[in-house]
């Protein structure tokens, strides 16, 4: 169970990093790189969601996960990463329009 939780944290962190890099790329005018980074962020979020789905399915099958600080952190990390990615998409568009 901990391995799956750590995958959720890792993939969420990678997705967040890509989204933040996309903003920096757009800020410097490299919109193609920003687009690629947003796509990479989306791909990493899929992996994070897959880990989350594994946890949900396990619980639905009666293998209830014990609530831990690590599990709460993983869920929090995923949710904040989704927000960062959504905002990064908006920032990239704004930078495009400004230039």
pLDDT, tens digit only, all 99 positions of the chain = 889 999 999 999 999 999 999 999 999 999 999 999 999 999 999 999 999 999 999 989 998 877 789 999 999 999 999 999 999 999 999 999 998
Element (DSSP H or E) covering residue 15:
helix 2-27
- Both tokens assigned to 43: 């791909």
- 77 labelled catalytic: no
User: What's the pTM value of the predicted model, to 2 decimals?
Assistant: 0.92
Number of domains in the chain: 1
Q: Which domain holds residue 19?
A: 2-98
Is 14 assigned to a binding site?
no
- CATH number, residue 64: 1.20.58.80
Which of 11, 49, 73, 77 is catalytic? The answer is: 73
């Amino acid at each position: 169970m901990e391995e799956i939780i750590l995958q959720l944290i890792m993939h969420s962190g990678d997705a967040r990093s890509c989204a933040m890099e996309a903003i920096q790329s757009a800020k410097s005018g490299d919109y193609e790189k920003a687009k690629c980074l947003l796509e990479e962020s989306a791909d990493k979020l899929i992996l994070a969601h897959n880990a989350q789905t594994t946890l949900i399915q396990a619980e639905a099958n009666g293998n209830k996960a014990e609530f831990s600080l690590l599990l709460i952190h993983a869920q929090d990390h995923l949710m904040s990463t989704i927000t960062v990615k959504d905002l990064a998409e908006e920032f990239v568009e704004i930078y495009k329009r400004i230039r």
